[in-house]
Amino acid sequence: MTLTTRSALMDQWNAEIACDGQVEEGIQDLVWRAMMDNDPIGRTWGAPDGVARVRTFFLWGWNPATAAKISVPTLIIYGASDRSVPATQTQLYEDLDGVPDGRRVLFKVDCAGHLFGWESQRRVLHHISKQWLKHREVDGYTTGKFFVDTEGTIHPQ
Report in angstroms the alpha-carbon separations of 45 from 5, 7, 28, 72, 117.
10, 14, 20, 41, 26
- CA–CA distance, 92 with 76 (Å, rounded to integer): 9
pTM for the complete prediction?
A: 0.88
Contact 93, 86 (CB under 8 A): no
- CA–CA distance, 141 with 27 (Å, rounded to integer): 32
How buried is 112 (Cβ within 10 angstroms: 0-12 exposed, 13-18 middle, 19+ buried)? buried
Q: What residues does each domain of the chain span?
A: 2-54, 64-156
Q: pLDDT tens digits, the chain, 157 residues: what are they?
A: 889 999 999 999 999 999 999 999 999 999 999 999 999 999 999 878 899 998 886 665 677 888 888 889 999 999 999 987 766 788 888 888 888 788 999 999 999 999 999 999 999 999 999 999 999 999 999 999 999 999 999 999 9
Q: Is 43 left (phi over 0), alpha (psi -120 to 50) or beta?
A: alpha
